[in-house]
Amino acid sequence: MKTIPFTDFRKNASGFIDEVEHGETLVLIRRGKPVAEIVPFSERSEGSPAWKQPGIRLQIRGSELSSAILEERESGA
């Protein structure tokens, strides 16, 4: 991972993009703080975004977790 000031990136963008094409990851710094990360493109990233992928479902054997939580709340335990 390479850290570079934004002004350097702006002046030499083509050269830095060549580095990214060869696997380098760049972190752009503006006023001393990281503002962007440039990473090589990955074919895997074309899938659906993480928030659209199905999440894990928790279950207690014999009943749904939400039902068990509601029953516990109602019982005052």
Q: Where are the domains of the chain?
A: 1-40
Identify which of 48, 38, 53, 44 has the alpha carbon closest to the alpha carbon of residue 3.
Answer: 38
Q: What pLDDT score was predicted for residue 22? A: 94
Flag whether the pTM goes above 0.75: no
What 3-state class would DSSP assign to 77? Answer: coil
pLDDT in tens, 14-68: 999 999 999 999 999 999 999 999 999 886 656 677 778 777 776 666 667 778 7
Task: Say if residues 4 and 29 touch (Cβ distance below 8 Å).
Answer: yes
**Would you state the CATH architecture of domain 1-40?**
3-Layer(aba) Sandwich (3.40)
Q: How far apart are CA 50 and CA 68, in angstroms?
A: 28
In this structure, the chain runs to a length of 77
**Cα–Cα nearest to 17, from 47, 41, 42:** 41
